[in-house]
A and B are shown apart, each in its own frame.
Chain A
C-alpha cells in the first residue's frame, strides 16, 4: 500500500474511533489527561496509519523501524490507542490504563511496554532522546526516521532548546519534531502563563525547517509528514495548531479537562458525539 492510497476518510474515521478509545479508557481509569490526548490523536493516526512510519508490531524492537517518542507523556492515552490499533498491544489492555500490576503505566514507560520508545512525562526530555536515536542511525548507516511529539507548554523547558540547538548543529535530517500547539497548559492559556511566541521564528532561528499546519486537517497533516521526509541536512518541525479536547464539544478549549477524566455521564455524551 502506498501512501496516496490511504484515504483521508479512512484516517478520519480511524481517528474518530481512537477518540472513543481515549475517552473510554480515561473514564474507566478515573484519572488522566483527555485534553492533550484528543489534540494529538489526528497526528498520531496519520503517523501510524497513513503509511508514514515503518514498523512491525510482531517485532517492536526491529532495528530499522521508524521511532516515535511522545515527549508530552501525559497524552499517553493517545499513544496507547494507536499502539492497540496497530496491533502492538491487545485492545483489552486499554481498559487497564493506570491499573496496578499492568504494563499500562500512567505515563509512557519503556520497561513496561517494548512498543514505547522512551519513558517520558518529566517534560522536556523526549527531543534529546530522539536526537540520540537519530545520531545512532547515522553511526549505524540505517535510514530510519525519528519523530518526537512535544507540547506547547513543554516548549517552556530549557532542555527543548538545548536539543533544538544540538540537532541543528549535528545536521540530523532524520529527526522530525511535531509541536502539538493546543494553546493551553495546566494552569491556563499558554499566552497568559508563559508565551512561547514567536514559536515559528524561534525554530527557524535554531536552524530547523518549519512547516505550520492545522493539526486536525488530515490532508494538511499528511502533506506535512511527506514534507518532513524530504531529504535535507537539517531537522524539521511541524508546528501543528490544534484544539485541546478536540472532538468532544464540552472538552474543546475547556482546560478543566487538561487532567480530569470524564464521568460516566460525560463519557456517554462524548461517545454519542464521536459515533460513526
Chain B
C-alpha cells in the first residue's frame, strides 16, 4: 500500500525557484543561512546577484524582503518554517501583511517529519501563524509535483504568500503532473459517498492510503487535497458535507489553528456535519520520522479509525 517516495517538497521548491529565476529576472531570493537545507542554494548558484544570504537574522530578512518587494521585486524569503514564522512574525504582520507587500515566505522543515532534530526545529504552528495574517495566501503542497505548481502560482499571485514544505522525501501523489492546480481550489483525488477525508502536505498520501483501507471495509471515502488553507475552497467543503455527511481533517500541525479549524468554520457556517481532527495537540520530540508520525497519530491507520467511528456513529443515530 505504501506509495513510492518522490523528491522532498523542499527539494522541489528549490528547483522550481531556479526555474522561475531563469524565466523572470525580477525574482529575488533571500535566505537566513539555511540555503543548503531550504534548497534555495540552486537559485543562489545560478543567480548570485539576485540572492541575498542575510545570515541568521530572520526579522531582518523579512524586513529586507518587504523593501525589495516595495521596489517592485517578486521576493521569496526562506528559512525553517518555525524560525521564519515565529521569529519574523511582527515583520510579516506590519511590513508584509498590513503593507500588502509582494513577499513569498517559504518555510521548510514544516511539521514533525523532520525527525531527529527535535522540537526546536519543527514547525508545529507555522500555518496557524500565517493564517492569522490577513491577506496571506497559505499553501501546503502534498508532493514534489504539486510543490512546483504551488511555487509557480505563488510567483504569479500578487500579494503575500506562505508555503510550507517538508524535509523528508514525500510519497508521490501526482504521478502525471498537477495540471489542475489553482490557488484556493481543492483537488478531488478520490470520489466517495460515506465520509470525506480532507488533508494537505504529507497527510494527503496518508489519506489516500486510509481511503483504500476503508474501501476494504465497505466504506466509500472521498479524498480532498486541500493544498490551499486560505483562501479555503468552501464550495468543496460544503459539497463534501452535503454528499458524504462526515468529514475527517488530517494535518501535520497543531490542531488549534490549522486546516482543521478552517474547515470546521466553513462546515459550521454552510452545512454542519460530524467531524474529526487528526493533528498534533502538543509538541513532539526527536526520533525517526516514521516512528514520530506513528506515535503522534499522523498515519493512515489513525485517519481510517476516526472515519470508521464517524460512520458508525451515524449508523447508530439512524437506527
User: A: which residues have CB within 8 A of B?
Assistant: 63, 109-111, 117-122, 124-125, 127-137, 139-140, 158-159, 162-163, 165-166, 169-170
Instruction: Tell me if B28 and A139 are in contact (CB < 8 A).
Output: yes
Instruction: Tell me if B73 and A139 are in contact (CB < 8 A).
Output: yes
Q: Given that A122-B90, A128-B60 are contacting pairs, would A109 and B98 also be in contact in the complex, using a CB cutoff of 8 Å?
A: yes
Residue ID in chain B nearest A111 by CB atoms: B100
Whether, in the assembled complex, B48 has its beta carbon less than 8 Å from a beta carbon of chain A, the answer is: no
Instruction: Tell me if A162 and B59 are in contact (CB < 8 A).
Output: yes
Chain A min CB distance to B3 (Å): 41
Question: Can you report 26 A-B residue pairs in the complex whose CB atoms are below 8 A from each other?
Answer: A110-B99, A118-B66, A118-B67, A118-B70, A118-B99, A119-B95, A124-B59, A125-B95, A129-B67, A129-B70, A130-B67, A131-B60, A131-B67, A132-B63, A132-B70, A132-B71, A135-B52, A135-B67, A139-B49, A139-B50, A139-B73, A140-B72, A163-B63, A165-B55, A165-B57, A166-B54
Q: How many A-B residue pairs have CB under 8 A?
A: 105
Alpha-carbon separation in the docked complex, A170 to B67 (Å): 15
Whether, in the assembled complex, B291 has its beta carbon less than 8 Å from a beta carbon of chain A, the answer is: no
Kindly identify, within residues 60 to 112 of chain B, every residue whose CB is under 8 Å from any CB belonging to chain A.
Answer: 60, 62-73, 75, 90-91, 93-95, 98-100
Chain A min CB distance to B97 (Å): 10
Query: Chain B 1-30 against A: per-residue CB contact (8 Å), 1 yes, 0 no?
Result: 000000000000000000000000000100
Instruction: Tell me if A136 and B55 are in contact (CB < 8 A).
Output: no
- Known pairs A128-B95, A129-B64; list 10 more (Cβ under 8 Å): A111-B98, A125-B63, A125-B95, A127-B63, A128-B62, A129-B95, A130-B67, A136-B67, A162-B60, A163-B63
Q: Report chain B residues within 8 Å CB of A169.
A: 55
Residue ID in chain A nearest B50 by CB atoms: A139
State which of B50, B63, B71, B75 has its C-beta within 8 Å of the C-beta of A128: B63
Q: Report chain A residues within 8 Å CB of B91.
A: 125, 128, 159
Instruction: Tell me if A122 and B60 are in contact (CB < 8 A).
Output: no
Alpha-carbon separation in the docked complex, A166 to B98 (Å): 24
Chain A min CB distance to B76 (Å): 13
Q: Given that A111-B99, A111-B100, A166-B54 are contacting pairs, would A133 and B60 also be in contact in the complex, using a CB cutoff of 8 Å?
A: no
Chain B min CB distance to A38 (Å): 25
Instruction: Tell me if A166 and B68 are in contact (CB < 8 A).
Output: no
Instruction: Tell me if B67 and A128 are in contact (CB < 8 A).
Output: yes
Closest CB pairs A-B (n = 5): A132-B67, A128-B63, A136-B71, A162-B60, A162-B57
Q: Report chain B residues within 8 Å CB of A133.
A: 67-68, 70-71
Q: Report chain A residues within 8 Å CB of B62.
A: 128
Instruction: Tell me if B95 and A118 are in contact (CB < 8 A).
Output: yes
Q: Given that A122-B90, A122-B94, A139-B73 are contacting pairs, would A132 and B100 also be in contact in the complex, using a CB cutoff of 8 Å?
A: no
Alpha-carbon separation in the docked complex, A117 to B59 (Å): 19
Chain B min CB distance to A55 (Å): 15
Q: Given that A118-B70, A133-B67, A139-B28 are contacting pairs, would A159 and B60 also be in contact in the complex, using a CB cutoff of 8 Å?
A: yes
Instruction: Tell me if A137 and B99 are in contact (CB < 8 A).
Output: no
Chain A min CB distance to B49 (Å): 7
Q: Report chain A residues within 8 Å CB of B71.
A: 132-133, 136-137, 140
State which of B54, B57, B59, B72 has its C-beta within 8 Å of the C-beta of A136: B72
Q: Report chain A residues within 8 Å CB of B63.
A: 125, 127-129, 131-132, 159, 163
